[in-house]
Structure 1
Amino acid sequence: MKKILIILFMFSFFSKVIAGNNGTAYDYEFNSIDGEIIKLSQYRGKVIVVVNVASRCGYTPQYEDLQTLWSEYKDKNLVILGIPTNNFRQEPGNNKEIKNFCETNFGITFPMTEKISVIGNNAHPFYKWARKDYGIGAIPKWNFHKIVIGKDGKVAETFSSITNPSSKKFIKAIENLI
């Protein structure tokens, strides 16, 4: 009986360590496209849509719908965060070129980070956390993959590149979280 209690105690202890609190999105920060710090903690209590973006992708027109979503919902506790990446070889520009492209072609005003890696060993810590918090659905398979963070700071849902930010499915998911 004593051995059983010791074993149960050990598994109880280790399961808490392994499956313990993975933290929240609020534990992470990014460098903005302008070199300032974007702390996700400043968005505590808001819904955050994190989208890896690229200027030479077939999904690049989604920038327009992301900007529309931002304009319509930013006063309703929604944040859009664009994450430029060249992981899929469709964002060769530097930060200045990316910013100019987004502002000139799509009038982007939502926050954007510097160009970073979103997959693999060099992925930004936020993306590594998202995978731990949500699973493989949080790993971008292509550009314009969307990770939706709920008001609790946890991954609430993810959407593949093909899901347009203006789609009924996406809007409904956002409105349910706001």
Structure 2
Amino acid sequence: MDMDPHKDFSFTLLDGTTFHLCSGQVVLVVNTASRCGFSRQFDALQRLHDRYHMHGFTVLGVSSQSFGKQEFEKPCDIATAIQNKWSGLTFPITQLTAVRGKSIHPFYAWAATQVSWCGRPKWNFHKYLIGKEGQCITWFASATDPLAPKVIEAVEAALGNH
């Protein structure tokens, strides 16, 4: 499950800056939607981010309307919705990004080739764990709590804590 070394997947964040996936960090890529029932996971994602950020880990929230159109379209509206409900979020969140379909983001097109059909996003808050070298280590379904033992164990292993 190697990433093409010539590919540097990048995302545009809500503030207009660019996030590069090939940053030497371990990244949990999560397709988010602020109006989804799973949005309660934002708090747990922030706690996960806080716990491991100093060790080279980050959560990347990928705002998406690919499932149920449960996200706003404009970056300012996404940011306002998140700020109003989860004012303490500090991990990066992208502008609207397609995670499936004709306009699928290149990262999600690549990730789909790294996992079985079961490992592809079926709804909001699907999680891909990406290693320091850009490899897809594993995935977690939407319903998986970001602080579940299997997530913690995978993050710690990716960081080399075990």
Once the 2 structures are TM-superposed, how far is the Cα of residue 157 of structure 1 from its aligned partner? 0.2
The unaligned stretches of length 5 or more in structure 2 are none
- 2:48 paired with 1:29: no
Of 129-138 and 26-35, the range deviating more from structure 2: 129-138
**CA–CA distance in structure 2, aligned partners of residues 86 and 24 of structure 1:** 29
What is the TM-score with the length of structure 2 in the denominator? 0.89
RMSD: 1.9
Determine the C-alpha separation between the residues in 2 that align with 1:108 and 1:24: 31
Correspondence for 1:104: 84
- Indicate the residue corresponding to 1:66 in structure 2: 45
CA-CA distance at 1:119 after TM superposition: 0.6
Equivalent in the alignment of 2:33: 54
Q: Which runs of 5+ in 1 are unaligned?
A: 1-20
Find out whether 1:75 has 2:80 as its counterpart.
no
Q: How does 1:98-177 map to 2 (within 5 A)?
A: 98-106=78-86, 107-177=88-158
Identity of aligned residues (%): 37
* Alpha-carbon offset, residue 97 of structure 1: 1.3
Indicate whether 1:92 and 2:72 are aligned: yes
What is the CA–CA distance in structure 2 between the aligned matches of 1:40 and 1:140, rounded to whole Å?
A: 18
Describe the SS at the equivalent of 1:38: strand
Normalising by structure 1, report the TM-score: 0.81
Following the alignment from structure 1 to structure 2, what is the Cα–Cα distance between the partners of residues 139 and 25? 23
Query: CA shift at 1:105, angstroms?
Result: 1.6
Separation in 2, partners of 1:139, 1:90: 19
Q: Which moved more, 1:104-113 or 1:59-68?
A: 104-113
Question: C-alpha distance in 2, partners of 1:27/1:52?
Answer: 19
Structure 1 residues 113 and 76: CA distance shift in structure 2, 3 A: same
Partner of 1:9: none
Determine helix, strand or coil for the equivalent of 2:39: coil
Aligned to 2:19: 38
Provide the C-alpha distance between the structure 2 equivalents of 1:130 and 1:28, rounded to a whole number of angstroms. 11
Runs of 4+ in 1 over 4 A off after TM superposition: none
Query: How far did 1:153 drift?
Result: 0.9
